[in-house]
Structure 1
Amino acid sequence: MNVSDSLTLPRPTAPPPRAQGEVLLSVQAVDGPTRLAHLRQQGSLKALFPRPSGPVLDVVTLITAGGLTSGDRMRLEARAGTGARLRLTTQAAERAYRAAGDPPALVESRLVADEGARIDWLPQETILYDGARLNRRLLVDLAPSATALLVEPLIFGRLARGEQVREGSFRDRWEVRRAGRLVFADALHLQGDMGRALDRAAVGGGARAMASVLLVGPGAASHLASVRALLPGSGGASLIEDGVLFLRLLAPDGFVLRRMLVPLITRLTGAALPKVWTL
């Protein structure tokens, strides 16, 4: 073998890099306002803290990798101590890109609220691109007197750019416990031609955007009539049991979905949306 022959030998190919990130945080009420008690973050998931302007502590998460693709792993765990108020959102819409291989991107979030605490989970939209593979799981543990508002908007492709989601996989599972008892569970699984599935009347009726909204806590039932008055014909609200209010909305695109969500979130929180929603 001469030198020129050795240059033609195939070289082993390294697997593409995978993004991994983790944020663990806890907050506590200190003489009224909520303050950060503990923070640990590593990898591609970061937590940002806008300047506090009231009793609620805002946390904005950011995936520095720029989006999610095959094999990425993100994990967030947040705890609100007794009487604390925590509001979590994202810096921008999250994007799940075409997966290069079979392993899906995995995102797991766990929220814990102690007695009298409140957590508002208000991420901006997740956009699924054609070929995306994403598995998500949201676990919530609440004390009997705690409150949680959970909002997850989802967009299937950017219609304004002519994008269609014709292949991919999306799994989303929620589990919410109150005083250790499972009070709400929801699982969504779309596989293959998601656009075709959404065209079915029993699934999406042609919608390309949807959102799930859940309010768990004392007084949740008192919002039922007011949120139903705000809902369009493509949305519905049900009182699962006392203290558990669930809404699901369908929309033709992300713009219409956000126009539906903003008044609902404002009604359920009694406050304006986080500033990053309007930037």
Structure 2
Amino acid sequence: MTGGDAFSFSAHAAADTELTMTTQACERAYKAQPGQTGRIRNRLQIAAGARVNWLPQETILFDGCALERRLSVDMDKDASLLMVEPMVFGRHAMGETLTDVHLSDRIEIRRADQMLYLDAVRLNGNAQAHLAQAFIAGGAGAMASVVYIADDAEARLDGIRTALPETAGASLIKKDVLVLRILAQDSFVLRLSLLPILRRLNGSDLPRCWMT
């Protein structure tokens, strides 16, 4: 994606079905021309008794990018969801730094028409300096947000916490809603902790493209 690009996607999991979605490769937000913003709109609908596994690979931000992204999830009362959104702040191995970034990333999850989870990330300007602050990201070069909504969320909390690195945390915001945030030096280190957790919550191996 670059400035001026627009992409929208929607999916519906019918009652008592299971749907797993991923991306064939990492999503990339490239340098944009002045005044132009790339826009992504993803929408998921999950019917009663259905489960969706939303497992995209990393979004890589490049210096000069301008990206506005929205993920909206509408769930029936007894639907289930495993969602991950990994993000990489420049390619660490290439020595890239992000000094001019415009990012607006918003996740909304509603259940039975009531807001259940809302997360918004905004970065404008020198992202490297912003992320270097100890109370924000402590210099992390990659991040992942995970939301797991299922009847067994509470039972999984202790095991998930044991598997997390020191730069991560997990909390229950409701008895059946488990939320994780992981920070890491780069995408390689992020995957070392993220993939085992996703396999555990997914109950099976991840899509093959995650392994290449």
Both structures adopt the same fold (TM-score exceeding 0.5): yes
Q: Secondary structure at the match of 1:184?
A: strand
Of the structure 1 ranges 137-146 and 218-227, higher mean CA displacement relative to structure 2 is found in 218-227
**Runs of 4+ displaced beyond 6 Å:** none
Partner of residue 193, structure 2:
260
Structure 1 position 97 matched with structure 2 position 30: yes
Structure 1 position 172 matched with structure 2 position 111: no
Instruction: Number of aligned residue pairs: give it.
Output: 212
Partner of residue 209, structure 1:
142
Structure 1 position 145 matched with structure 2 position 70: no
Quote the sequence identity (%).
Answer: 45
1:249 to 172, 175, 182: 182
Contact 1:146–1:218 (Cα < 8 Å) also in 2: no
Unaligned runs of 5+ in 1: 1-67
Deviation at 1:116, TM superposition (A): 0.8
Deviations 1:27-66 (A, max 9, x none): xxxxxxxxxxxxxxxxxxxxxxxxxxxxxxxxxxxxxxxx
**Amino acid across the alignment from 2:177:** V
Q: Secondary structure at the match of 1:100?
A: coil
Counterpart CA distance in 2 for 1:278 and 1:102 is: 37
Structure 1 position 107 matched with structure 2 position 40: yes
Counterpart CA distance in 1 for 2:64 and 2:57 is: 21
Contact 1:156–1:165 (Cα < 8 Å) also in 2: yes
Counterpart CA distance in 2 for 1:102 and 1:84 is: 43
Deviation at 1:179, TM superposition (A): 1.2
Deviation at 1:218, TM superposition (A): 2.0
Counterpart CA distance in 2 for 1:103 and 1:212 is: 27
Q: Superposition RMSD on alpha carbons, in Å?
A: 0.8
Contact 1:154–1:209 (Cα < 8 Å) also in 2: yes
**Amino acid across the alignment from 1:157:** G
TM-score, with structure 2 as normaliser: 0.98
2:164 to 209, 227, 231: 231
Partner of residue 56, structure 2:
123
**Amino acid across the alignment from 1:256:** V
Structure 1 position 273 matched with structure 2 position 212: no
1:133 to 61, 66, 71: 66
Q: Relative contact order, CA 8 A, sep 6+: which one is greater? A: 2
Q: Secondary structure at the match of 1:233?
A: coil
1:162 to 91, 95, 103: 95
Counterpart CA distance in 2 for 1:273 and 1:138 is: 21
Contact 1:111–1:139 (Cα < 8 Å) also in 2: yes
Counterpart CA distance in 2 for 1:129 and 1:241 is: 36
Counterpart CA distance in 2 for 1:160 and 1:106 is: 27
Partner of residue 121, structure 2:
188
Deviation at 1:142, TM superposition (A): 0.7
Deviation at 1:234, TM superposition (A): 0.1
